[in-house]
């Protein structure tokens, strides 16, 4: 097979830098298919495939490979962190949407969290509370992830993405048809401006942590922008591709940090129709939305209007749903799900309750101990506080048996250390952990951490005895009606709560701590003050859920590194400063394959669990959703999704479908 085959050279000449990697790999696929059949000339499906076509295809591929030009340098319609993209360049829509869903009507929802009012339309700055729905409905990014792949994204504002041969930069080409709501084209300068604002001191520090490996953003053309990296990090094209993009004109009259009710100039499918900061907000679908015919948008955002109504508390919200004031609700309280979703409307089918399975990693939810406070700096104290949680009692008495105990930072995922056969680190994990042995507790090299249980023959009494022994070893003993240190100071701390569904759980937990002589003051505050105190790390203990990810990446910097521990507003609520954890996070971020990612994830998980930084809670592998009968959803579910996001983007009203006679 001659590399200089003339027809092969013609094929290669057509492979411009913007050719999909899948197109190049397609040459191999076609040739393999022909060679397997191995008949010359070959007839299949009524077509003749001749030896010449096979030779030309293989010759073309050999020219590409012999040139030393790696396949990763070809541009593509998307980017897959590990392996290849599921959907080809000419795909019509994602498999988990209904491309023929009727469009129109109104979706009415309640506030998705504790916010009962808002004072701005800028969801990126720390100061103030933003309106619900802004990110999902108005802001778009260069790439959009698919919900049936672990770490793959496809072009949204961008129509191709090119990773440099040395993997130290990625270039995006912006679609010519991409438009902001005011009609202006989306340009590379807007991408750079958005990035600069998100990296400023006024934005949430999570963005800076995610992009810590980005060296510069360079506008290389009117619609081309390049992100340069400080070092190789396979996830970086996905990270920078997911950043929100908005117009420079949004801040023409008011600076980024002073934006309040100036409507965002964005490219998304909806715009703000009207609002009342104390009652709710209405979004209307833009009839001129530029991206309605894109494959990544077909069958999505089907509602003509999306309305958010704000309710003062969870009880009022649930009663409002049952009265028909809004269309769907996601329930997180197992007691409510078991006891409150009943009545005539449910019996008659007007309201429906369903549990939707998902494959999301469980993430971590638990009671965070702030190690910036001296009493939580001893690991034995933290272990003792974990022993005081009686999960089995809570699950039986409060949760109706609906949950499983979290035993990992990556529960329900192959990254969990507990998924190994014998619970001990394997050869790959040991290769990462051994160089850090001097910085790690000895237990890391043994079995994984098993959460305490009160199932027979164990009991809460047994666990509290063990807790008291650990506390004594740490210098805390029971005296004069309280647990005291060597100075005679009692152990007293505050549990900060926002008045949500965890209050009754916290109360039960505090009762157990009181049996150890620990005084806990439960402080309930409103959502805005609660958020402010978290951002300032002004708390002792707090209940938090950290989002899950099928392919964890730079968000781990914001959650676990020493640098983040000193950055107000970061996710490192623990105050964790560990050189070993920093190194393992870095190793995970630079994993070159899925197997390497899994190994690094398990090693990191093992170290975090042996640090006892959080009192682990529980999880469910289902989304609990109740909705009005007029609502409809695709028959095929996504694999990885949030319930709220799925309702917003994939559902529609079935009362818009014409009834057949």
- 628: which strand partners? 351
List the CATH number of the domain containing 389.
3.10.105.10
Q: Does some domain include residue 515?
A: yes
- 368: which strand partners? 542, 614
pLDDT tens digits for 535-579?
A: 999 999 999 988 777 778 888 999 999 999 999 999 999 999 999
Q: Does some domain include residue 386?
A: yes
Residue 7 pLDDT > 50 = no
Nearest to 533 by CA among 368, 389, 383, 377: 368
SS3 readout for 510-551 = HHHHHHCCCEEEEEECCHHHHHHHHHCCCCCEEEEEECCCCC
pLDDT tens digits for 233-261?
A: 888 999 999 999 999 999 999 999 999 99
Cα–Cα distance measured from residue 615 to residue 407, given in angstroms and rounded to the nearest whole number: 10
Tokens (6 digits) for 116: 């009962």
Structural domain range at position 545: 364-618
Residue 418: the pLDDT is 78
SS3 readout for 94-137 = CCCCCCCCCCCCEEEEECCCCCCCCCECCCCECCCCECCCHHHH
Which DSSP helix (H) or strand (E) runs through 169? strand 169-174
Tokens (6 digits) for 366: 């638990």
Neighbours of 311 (CB within 10 A): 19
Q: Does some domain include residue 313?
A: no
Q: Which of 39, 74, 109 is the last residue of a domain?
A: 74
User: Percent of the chain, pLDDT > 90?
Assistant: 72
Q: Which residue has the tokens 């202006």?
A: 184
Over residues 138-165, mean pLDDT: 95
Residue 307 pLDDT > 60 = yes
Q: Does some domain include residue 314?
A: no
pLDDT tens digits for 72-128?
A: 444 589 999 887 899 999 999 999 999 999 999 999 999 988 888 999 999 999 889
Tell me if the bond preceding 457 is cis, omega within 30° of 0.
yes
CB 248 within 8 Å of CB 149: no
Residue 56: the pLDDT is 52
Residue 391 pLDDT > 80 = yes
Q: Does some domain include residue 543?
A: yes
Over residues 325-351, mean pLDDT: 94
- 143: which strand partners? 155
Tokens (6 digits) for 61: 């591929």
Cα–Cα distance measured from residue 310 to residue 323, given in angstroms and rounded to the nearest whole number: 15
Nearest to 354 by CA among 333, 337, 339: 337
Q: Which residue has the tokens 């150890």?
A: 516
Cα–Cα distance measured from residue 374 to residue 468, given in angstroms and rounded to the nearest whole number: 18
Tokens (6 digits) for 600: 């690094």
Mean pLDDT of the chain: 88
pLDDT tens digits for 479-531?
A: 999 999 999 999 999 999 987 678 889 999 999 999 999 999 999 998 889 99
Residue 42: the pLDDT is 32
Which is more confident, 45 or 490?
Answer: 490
Q: Does some domain include residue 486?
A: yes
Q: Does some domain include residue 396?
A: yes
Which is more confident, 209 or 585?
Answer: 585
HSE-CB for 327 with a 13 A CA cutoff: 23
Burial of 512 (0-12, 13-18, 19+ CB in 10 A): buried
Residue 438: the pLDDT is 95
In this structure, the strands spanning 519-524 and 614-616 are unpaired
- Long-range (24+ apart) CB contacts under 8 A made by 133-136 are 133/109, 133/270, 133/281, 133/283, 133/306, 133/308, 133/648, 134/264, 135/244, 136/645, 136/648, 136/649
CB 561 within 8 Å of CB 581: yes
Tell me if the bond preceding 41 is cis, omega within 30° of 0.
yes
Residue 38 pLDDT > 70 = no
Q: Of 18-27, 152-161, 248-257, where does mean pLDDT reach its minimum?
A: 18-27
Q: Which of 588, 603, 618 is the last residue of a domain?
A: 618
Q: Does some domain include residue 489?
A: yes
Residue 29 pLDDT > 60 = no
**CB proximity list for 310: less than 8 A, separation 6 or greater:** 110, 111, 115, 116, 117, 278, 279, 280
Overall number of domains in the chain = 2
Residue 59: the pLDDT is 52
CA distances 198 to 49, 159, 195, 561, Å, are: 54, 23, 5, 20
User: What would you measure as the largest C-alpha separation in the chain, in angstroms?
Assistant: 96
Residue 233: the pLDDT is 86
**CB proximity list for 454: less than 8 A, separation 6 or greater:** 390, 391, 392, 393, 460, 462, 463
DSSP output for 189-246: HHHHHHHHHHTSTTB-HHHHHHTTTEEEEEEEETTEEEEEESS--TTHHHHHHTSEE-
**CB proximity list for 90: less than 8 A, separation 6 or greater:** none
> Exposure pattern of 428-449 as b/e (b: 16+ CB <10 Å)?
ebeebbeebeeebeeebbeebb
> Exposure pattern of 533-558 as b/e (b: 16+ CB <10 Å)?
bbbebebbbbbbebebbbbbbbbbbb
Give 172's pLDDT tier (boundaries 50, 70, 90): very high
Nearest to 620 by CA among 397, 389, 356, 368: 356
Residue 368: the pLDDT is 98
Residue 547: the pLDDT is 77
DSSP designation for 593: S
Q: Which of 45, 74, 103 is the last residue of a domain?
A: 74
Residue 50: the pLDDT is 43
Which residue stretches of 350-502 are H helix?
A: 379-387, 391-397, 427-433, 460-473
């Amino acid at each position: 097979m001659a590399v200089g085959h003339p027809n092969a050279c013609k094929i290669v000449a057509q492979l411009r830098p913007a050719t999909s990697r899948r197109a190049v790999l397609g040459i191999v696929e076609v040739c393999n298919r022909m060679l397997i059949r191995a008949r010359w000339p070959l007839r299949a499906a009524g077509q003749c495939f001749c030896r010449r076509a096979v030779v030309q295809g293989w010759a073309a591929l050999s020219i590409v490979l012999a040139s030393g030009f790696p396949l990763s340098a070809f541009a593509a319609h998307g980017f897959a962190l590990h392996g290849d993209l599921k959907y080809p360049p000419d795909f019509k829509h994602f498999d988990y949407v209904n491309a023929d869903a009727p469009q129109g009507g109104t979706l009415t929802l309640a506030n998705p969290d504790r916010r009962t009012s808002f004072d701005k339309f800028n969801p990126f700055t720390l100061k103030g509370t933003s309106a619900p729905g802004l990110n999902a409905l108005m802001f778009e990014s260069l790439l959009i992830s698919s919900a049936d792949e672990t770490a793959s994204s496809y072009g949204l504002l961008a129509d191709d993405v090119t990773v440099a041969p040395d993997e130290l930069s990625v270039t995006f080409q912006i679609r010519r048809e991409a438009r902001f709501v005011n009609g202006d084209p989306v340009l590379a300068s807007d991408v750079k401006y958005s990035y600069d604002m998100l990296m400023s001191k006024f934005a949430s520090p999570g963005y800076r942590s995610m992009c810590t490996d980005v060296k510069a953003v360079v506008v290389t053309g009117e619609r081309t922008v390049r992100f340069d990296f400080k070092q190789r990090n396979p996830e970086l094209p996905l990270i920078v591709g997911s950043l929100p993009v908005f117009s420079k004109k949004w801040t023409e009259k008011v600076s980024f940090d002073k934006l309040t009710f100036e409507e965002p100039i964005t490219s998304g499918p909806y715009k703000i129709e009207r609002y009342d900061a104390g009652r709710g907000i209405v979004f209307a679908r833009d009839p001129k939305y530029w991206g309605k015919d894109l494959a990544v948008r077909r069958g999505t955002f089907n509602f003509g209007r999306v309305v958010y109504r704000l309710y003062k508390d969870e009880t009022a919200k649930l009663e409002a749903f049952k009265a028909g004031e809004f269309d769907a609700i996601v329930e997180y309280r197992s007691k409510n799900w078991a006891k409150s979703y009943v009545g005539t409307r449910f019996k008659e089918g007007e309201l429906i309750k369903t549990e939707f399975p998902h494959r999301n990693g469980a993430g971590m939810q638990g009671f965070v101990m702030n190690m910036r406070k001296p009493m939580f700096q001893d690991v034995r104290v933290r272990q003792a506080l974990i022993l005081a949680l009686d999960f089995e009692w809570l699950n039986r008495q409060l949760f109706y048996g609906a949950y499983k105990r979290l035993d990992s930072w990556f529960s329900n995922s192959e990254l969990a250390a507990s998924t190994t056969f014998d619970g001990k680190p394997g050869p790959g994990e040991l290769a990462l952990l051994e160089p850090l042995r001097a910085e790690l507790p000895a237990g890391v090299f043994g079995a994984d951490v098993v959460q305490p249980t009160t199932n027979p023959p164990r009991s809460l009494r047994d666990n509290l005895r063990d807790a008291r022994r650990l506390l004594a070893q740490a210098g805390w003993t029971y005296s004069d009606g309280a647990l005291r240190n060597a100075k005679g100071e009692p152990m007293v701390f505050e549990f900060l709560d926002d008045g949500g569904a965890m209050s009754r759980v916290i109360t039960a937990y505090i009762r157990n701590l009181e049996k150890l002589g620990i005084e806990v003051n439960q402080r309930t505050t409103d959502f805005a003050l609660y958020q402010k105190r978290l951002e300032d790390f002004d708390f002792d203990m707090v209940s938090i859920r950290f989002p899950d990810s099928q392919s964890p990446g730079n968000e781990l910097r914001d959650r676990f590194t020493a640098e983040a521990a000193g950055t107000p507003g970061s996710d490192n609520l623990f105050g964790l400063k560990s050189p070993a954890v920093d190194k393992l996070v870095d190793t995970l971020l630079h994993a070159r394959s899925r197997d390497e990612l899994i190994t690094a994830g398990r090693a990191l998980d093992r170290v975090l669990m042996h640090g006892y930084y959080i009192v682990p809670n529980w999880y469910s592998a289902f989304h609990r959703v109740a909705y009005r009968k007029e609502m409809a959803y695709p028959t095929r579910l996504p694999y990885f999704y949030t319930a709220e996001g799925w309702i917003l983007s994939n559902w529609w009203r079935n009362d818009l479908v014409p009834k057949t006679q």
